[in-house]
Structure 1
Amino acid sequence: MKHESIEINSALLIILTLVVISIGGLVEIVPLFHIKGTVEKVDGVHPYTPLEQLGRDVYVREGCYLCHSQMIRPFRDEQLRYGHYSLAAESQYDHPFQWGSKRTGPDLARVGGKYSNEWMTQHLIHPQSLVPESIMPSYPWLMQPLKYQDIEARMKALRDVGVPYSLTKAEYEANVKKFGKDLADQFVIADGLKSVKAEAAAENWDGNPKEITEMDALVAYLQVLGTMVDFSKYNQGYFSTFR
């Protein structure tokens, strides 16, 4: 009877519903104000280089996230198939992150280094030539020239949301201390164009060294996924508590 009296009184029902929602919200939110951070301290994680970032933009533009997640869940079957479960630290420079919950194709969080550049290029141009049962569409237009003239503007925008690309000498020196000089040099916004050209020339990503293509950028991005953290160093301690 008491329950019925609440249900037929719309004003009382709304008030009690708001109270319950408020309590649930406080239980979830308040603890966050009493911890230093929700991102683990993990060695090796760094922002994407300019070429990798351009490749990530192509990945998002083509909607790759609609069929491929980048989030390995902490379950034994997922770790056996894909590797160590995903860490928050690995996505701290992603805007937006590519976790996803839909897997028409395999998770790509650890795809970097598993296949050669040639394999990845051919797979993107004609997936069925390598995996006959694949239902993935072909992306031959990725061999078109990459538009990278606005990379410095993109880096500035990412800097505004927290990615530590450097615009000042102090920021550069901080990056040298945190990531090492080789990476810090690639994070200098004023040298963004030069960094793209140098990284594209350093490795034959798409099999065509004569020009920088969207395929160069996308393969560079895919090849870095999951390679920043050396998980062999974390078999004990913090990470073992989650197994």
Structure 2
Amino acid sequence: MRHENIEKNIGLMTILTLIVISVGGLVEIVPLFYIDDTVEKVEDVRPFTPLEQRGRDIYVSEGCYLCHSQQVRPFRDEQIRYGHYSLAAESKYSHPFQWGSKRTGPDLARVGGKYSNAWHVQHLIAPRSVVPESVMPNYPHLMEDELETGQLRDRMHALKTVGVPYTEEKGDLYRKNVERWGKQVAERLHIPNAKQSLLAEAKQGNFDGDPSRLTEMDALVAYLQVLGTMVDFDEYSEPKQGRARGF
């Protein structure tokens, strides 16, 4: 009878619902203000270079994130297959981050350096030629489509507004980037150098195997090859009691 009375009284029902939601929200949110290690201090993680960021844009636009997560859970079977569990700090410059639960294909958080550039190119063009059981679609157009760079600086400006330390002038932030990651990386994170930096990195890496052209394949492979390579996970091989586990 009491439950029936609550359901029939819309005002009381609304008040009780708000109380339950508020309590649940407080239980989830308040502890975060008292946990210093929620986001690990990982100095090696840097923003994506212009080429890597364009590759990430293509990764998202092609819907790759719908079948591949970038979140290794802190479970033994996950770490045996994929490597160290994901750290929150690894995604601090990713907007939006690519964590998730959907895995039609394997997790890609640690795929960088696992395969050669040529393997990635062949896998993207014709997945079943290297993984017979794959259900992944073919992406041959990545090798055919020229990489669009006209909005490159605008994209970097947009990311800068949400906290990614790209630089527009060689002031304090630029010098800080030099101290943290070296002059070469700082130059690649300098917005006025964006297109020049992208072209130089693509030429040096020759990610699609065709040095005569700059394609979307160059950018996507560059992005895949950097995933999981920024952190020395030997420092985190034995999780300390109380350490946050990335999520």
CA distance in 2, matches of 1:59, 1:23: 38
What's 1:72 paired with? Answer: 72
SS in 2 for 1:41: coil
Q: 1:233 to 1:38 in 2, by over 3 A?
A: closer
Most deviating of 222-231 and 34-43: 34-43
SS in 1 for 2:224: helix
CA distance in 2, matches of 1:239, 1:176: 34
- Report the TM-score when normalising by structure 2: 0.92
Residue 151 of structure 1, CA deviation: 1.2
What's 1:42 paired with? Answer: 42
Deviation beyond 6 Å, 4+ runs, structure 1:
none
Matching residue within 192, 195, 198 for 1:196: 198
Residue 93 of structure 1, CA deviation: 0.6
After superposition, residues 97-112 of structure 1 pair within 5 angstroms as 97-112=97-112
Does residue 1:149 correspond to 2:139, yes or no?
no
CA distance in 1, matches of 2:20, 2:237: 42
Q: Which has the higher contact order (CA 8 A, sep 6+)?
A: 2
What's 2:207 paired with? Answer: 205
Residue 98 of structure 1, CA deviation: 0.9
Q: 1:242 to 1:97 in 2, by over 3 A?
A: closer
Q: 1:79 to 1:240 in 2, by over 3 A?
A: farther
What's 1:53 paired with? Answer: 53
SS in 1 for 2:98: coil
CA distance in 2, matches of 1:197, 1:188: 14
What's 1:183 paired with? Answer: 185
CA distance in 2, matches of 1:233, 1:240: 16
* Aligned sequence identity (%): 64
Q: Deviation per CA, 1:23-80: give whole Å up to 9, x if none.
A: 2222222333445574210131110011000100110111001111111111111111
CA distance in 2, matches of 1:18, 1:69: 34
Q: Report the RMSD for the aligned CA atoms in angstroms.
A: 1.9
CA distance in 2, matches of 1:6, 1:166: 58
Residue 204 of structure 1, CA deviation: 1.7
Residue 21 of structure 1, CA deviation: 1.4
After superposition, residues 1-243 of structure 1 pair within 5 angstroms as 1-35=1-35, 38-143=38-143, 144-168=145-169, 169-236=171-238, 238=240
Q: 1:94 to 1:229 in 2, by over 3 A?
A: same
Residue 5 of structure 1, CA deviation: 3.2
Q: Deviation per CA, 1:87-133: give whole Å up to 9, x if none.
A: 11011111111112111110100000000000000100111111111
For the 8 Å contact 1:91–1:97, the answer to whether it is kept is yes
Residue 17 of structure 1, CA deviation: 1.6
For the 8 Å contact 2:70–2:99, the answer to whether it is kept is yes
For the 8 Å contact 1:234–1:240, the answer to whether it is kept is no
- Report the TM-score when normalising by structure 1: 0.93
| Unaligned stretches of 5+ residues in structure 1 | none
CA distance in 1, matches of 2:4, 2:42: 54
SS in 2 for 1:222: helix
Residue 209 of structure 1, CA deviation: 0.5
Name the amino acid aligned to 1:177.
Answer: E
Residue 165 of structure 1, CA deviation: 0.3
For the 8 Å contact 1:112–1:224, the answer to whether it is kept is yes
For the 8 Å contact 1:118–1:207, the answer to whether it is kept is yes
Residue 180 of structure 1, CA deviation: 1.9
CA distance in 2, matches of 1:150, 1:16: 50
Q: How many residues align?
A: 243
